[in-house]
Structure 1
Amino acid sequence: MLTLAYEPEAAALYCKELTVQKKEGAESSSLSSFEPGQQFLVLDCGGGTVDVTAYQVQNDGDLRELQRPTGGPWGGTYVDNQYTTFLKELFGADVWSEYSKENPEDVLEIQRRFEAKKKSVNASADDQTTISFPSSLFAKYQIAKNCSSFEECLKKSEFAKTIKVKKDKLRFDHQLVKAFFRVPIDSIVTHVKEIINESKKKGRDIKTILMVGGFSDSSILSQRIISEFKRITVICPTEAVNAIVKGAVIFGHNPNLISERISPLTYGISVNTTFNNKVHPAKLKVVYDGKEMCTDIFQPIVQIGHPIRVGKEIFKHTCLPTRALDTEATIEIYESSSECPMYTIDKGVRRLGDLTVSIPNTSKGKNRPIKVEVSFGYTEIVVCAFEEGTETQTRATFDCLLT
């Protein structure tokens, strides 16, 4: 069976299980483990997004999630995009666009070289960043600007003081390169501060920040985190990007190491109820068997921010076929970022998928109740369905809608 592992959880498990940890900025590793009761943040800085989650170590060594994962699009690709935007300014949008279409492999190599340099950009040192460029790009720019050489073109541009040319290489001023990192790093720091302040208000004591993900290998990012949170221990494992992969292996062997999670959204089902013209909108009124009913009522299963004990939070629902000869019953599953939406058609409510339960025996007509149990807290939604009375297990499938 395929089991999904959340990246922050996998990283937390990996670093919790290992007793040898290397604090960012330290010259050597030291023996240190997460003790029961210790609370820490996992700062998962990936390529596209940055996700922050808080955990507490339980007495049995399991991890309890203290807050739902939050974050934003502040990963390493944000820096790459800033760099690409600058190259468009440097060479001109038309030149860069034409060159990208004519030489896509060279453009990928330009980006790859910057990716390799990105990790070593230092917050305090004043070193220039040197990157090789294909001479064909210099030549195209030179022709477009009608200069005798690329260096002559550069000297006439607004970048004469921040970029130097040496053969096929450009040397970027340190402050210029640091500017590529400014927006994402500022956003990360602001978000982490908000989470720590919120944790303090709830009586929590975050003593450690665990940095994982490929972007965490960036010196300028880790140095900034250390500088901003001097009273908190910052741990960045060697090859932070691999912490997630190795932690996923640990999780695969024992998924129960995460004992409690926080629901990231509100989940519910669509149900009908007796129509009340003082409460319900007329457009949702339907008539079933001579009775006025209101459709599209959002019945919550679990609410956003609610702690869920893994394997112990079970939602039970009894469903009946709509028609006597139906061999299946369908339950619509919805999600929302609101705490308690009233209708499934409310703004921000999204149809997650359909839970289809098999009821092949039609001999009892519509009187064929099926008990459905939905278990939350795992990385997947686990569903069981039984015929009421006989307790015979029946088939249930969950179809995640792609629209």
Structure 2
Amino acid sequence: MHFPVSLIDIFETENERKMNIRDAIVASKYGKTVELKRDKLKISHSTVEKLFEHSIQQIVKQVQKLMTDERMADVKAILMVGGYSESSLLQRAIKSAFPGIHEVIPQEASSAVLRGALIFGHNPMALTERVLKYTYGVETTLPFVNRVYPQSKRKKADIGDRCVNIFHKLIKKELSVTPGETQVERYYSTCNKKQNCMPLAIFISEEKNPTYVDGKGCAKIGTMFIKFEEPDDLPGRRVKLTMLLGGSEIIVELEDEKSGNKVINTAEFWG
């Protein structure tokens, strides 16, 4: 590979031992496998393979993990895209790890992802189905039960003691959804008298059935508020939440059941 002269000058100026780069290479652990001749750096084949060994192993390991899913039972081919897919080292590793599966590597695999993004940008409905990477839910409360919930999550409300930070699941990870068609509806009620608004924080989780929004693998992606122009004297005012999964975003609507007022917002699709 070409080795810029300017890089040689920088090395010999900045290194504390004031060694020239050829002597530094000889003194290193690569002394017998790397050589600098004029402006060319010669690297042995075994050393190059070693540089990519870890990343290739991790890719193979991840694909093997995906293939253990029962939904992958009928998979007959692996489509390899992206610049790394053009590497013969990676191609050989995939073929060796999955001998019964056909590998498909399109021409100009490095630009396939970019071209796909452009097609999707012009026609979002080209994406007909998604498999959710995360579980989506909102933060809510439940009646507090001793010995079931920790005391640290106990909070007084007009309807009684509540357990806070509950992750109320809207839709579970690994579920196949159709953008523009998959819709979720839930109802939530106020807990206090004269409550003038209801905040609903939307969370994602890496777990299928998370318990609390502050648990491991959870992250908040946004908070919505719906205001009540005329607060009720008693708790229990209902709000309807509707979540529509779009092509690249989530559309969330809150509707005050009493007044009919609505609030609509969008969030980035995380999976």
Distance in 2 separating the partners of 1:246 and 1:131: 32
Query: 1:143-175 CA distances to partner (integer Å, 9 max, x unpaired)?
Result: 8256xx654554455433212232233211121
Q: Find out whether 1:375 has 2:248 as its counterpart.
A: no
The alpha-carbon deviation at position 183 of structure 1 amounts to 0.8
SS of residue paired to 1:205: coil
2:163 equivalent in structure 1: 294
Match of 2:9 among 136, 143, 161: 136
CA contact (8 A) 1:320 1:369 kept: yes
TM-score by length of 1: 0.56
Q: What letter is aligned with 1:396?
A: I
The Cα of 1:180 is off from its aligned counterpart by 0.7
Q: 1:88 corresponds to which residue?
A: none
Q: Which residue in the other structure is 2:219 paired with?
A: 350
Classify 1:181/1:347 alpha carbon distance in 2 versus 1 (closer, same or farther; 3 Å). Answer: closer
Residue 194 of structure 2 is matched in structure 1 by 324
- Summarize the Cα distance change of 1:142–1:251 in structure 2 as closer, same or farther, 3 Å threshold: closer
Report if the CA contact (8 A) 2:193-2:232 is conserved.
no
Q: CA offsets per residue over residues 334-360 of structure 1, 9 Å max, x none? A: 22222222233334333332122244x
Identity %: 27
Residue matched to 1:282 = 151
Shift of 1:278: 3.7
Please name the residue that 1:185 is paired with: 56
- Given the two structures, how large is their TM-score scaled by the length of structure 2? 0.80
Total equivalences in the alignment = 265
Of structures 1 and 2, the one scoring higher in RCO (CA 8 A, sep 6+) is 1
Instruction: Give the conservation status (yes or no) of the 8 Å contact 1:356–1:397.
Output: no
Matched-pair contact (CA < 8 Å) for 1:319–1:372: no
In structure 2, the CA distance between the partners of 1:354 and 1:141, relative to structure 1 (3 Å rule), is closer
CA contact (8 A) 1:268 1:301 kept: yes
More helix as a share of residues: 1
Indicate if the aligned counterparts of 2:141 and 2:163 stay in contact, CA closer than 8 A: yes
Once the two structures are TM-superposed, the CA of residue 140 in structure 1 deviates from its matched residue by 3.8
Corresponding letter in the other structure for 1:144: R
User: What does 1:12-51 correspond to in 2, within 5 Å?
Assistant: none
Change (3 A) 1:307 1:160: closer
248 and 160 in structure 1: CA distance in 2 versus 1, 3 angstrom threshold: closer
Q: Which runs of 5+ in 2 are unaligned?
A: none
RMSD between superposed Cα atoms in Å? 3.2
Alpha-carbon deviations, 1:61-87, whole Å to 9, x = none?
xxxxxxxxxxxxxxxxxxxxxxxxxxx
The equivalent position to 1:166 in structure 2, one of 34, 37, 47, is 37
Q: Which amino acid aligns with 1:266?
A: T
Task: Within 5 Å, give how 1:216-235 maps onto structure 2.
Answer: 216-235=85-104
Q: Tell whether the 8 Å contact from 1:133 to 1:169 is kept in structure 2 after alignment.
A: no
- 2:263 is matched with 395
1:194 matched to which residue of 2?
65
Distance 1:309 1:345 in 2: 29
